[in-house]
Amino acid sequence: MLLLGVVTLVLFPVPTFIYLGWKENISVQTIFQFENATLLKIGLGLQFGFVYGILALLLLKSSVFDKIPTKIEDIVRSMNLNFGDALFLSFCAGFGEELLFRSGIQYYLGVPITSIIFVAIHGYLNPWNWRYSLYGLIVLPFILILSYGFITFGLWFAIAAHFAYDTVLFTSMIKQK
């Protein structure tokens, strides 16, 4: 699982750098938006991700999710993660996926389509399991707001929000072992 985190961290951003750098002639410094890496914007992202993560966690406790064949919590628990692993995987997902989706794919497809693709790729828009799709409908507003937040506050807001959201979910689920 940690290898998957490294792959996400290192390889997911590559298409963004290739397409934006080569095709659009956008510099790596511009893609990284270092000017937006302020404490305020990162702090807003962390707050947003943390609050939405708690909200999603509370909604996941609803009885409607009890009958999901492989509950999300069971998947996370089966990974035998410790707190450090959860932080590492959350960072890898936040960094790698936001560079790929927000900086890359969203540049070409826009917010709504990219957000739907993001949620669908994670398996949360599943026509054969309405409960997974229900969770997808919980996650989709988070991704839409995060995507518009990327436009307003920049990449580091999106990375921080994604990191905080995943951290809340991962750490709460590993604590329940």
Percent helix, strand, coil in the chain, to 5, is 80, 0, 20
Asked if 56 and 142 count as a contact pair (C-beta separation under 8 A), the reply is yes
- Residue 48: its H or E element: helix 39-60
Beta strands in the chain (DSSP E): none
* The predicted structure's pLDDT at residue 164: 98
With residue 156 as reference, give the H or E element that holds it. helix 155-175
pTM for the predicted model, two decimal places:
0.92
Supply the pLDDT for residue 127: 85
Residue 69 is predicted with a pLDDT of: 56
From first to last of the 177 residues of the chain, give the pLDDT tens digit: 778 899 999 999 999 999 999 999 999 999 999 999 999 999 999 999 999 999 998 988 888 777 765 556 677 777 788 899 999 999 999 999 999 999 999 999 999 999 999 999 998 888 887 878 888 999 999 999 999 999 999 999 999 999 999 999 989 888 665
Q: How far apart are CA 73 and CA 93, in angstroms?
A: 17
Q: Can you give the pLDDT at residue 39?
A: 98
pLDDT of residue 71: 59
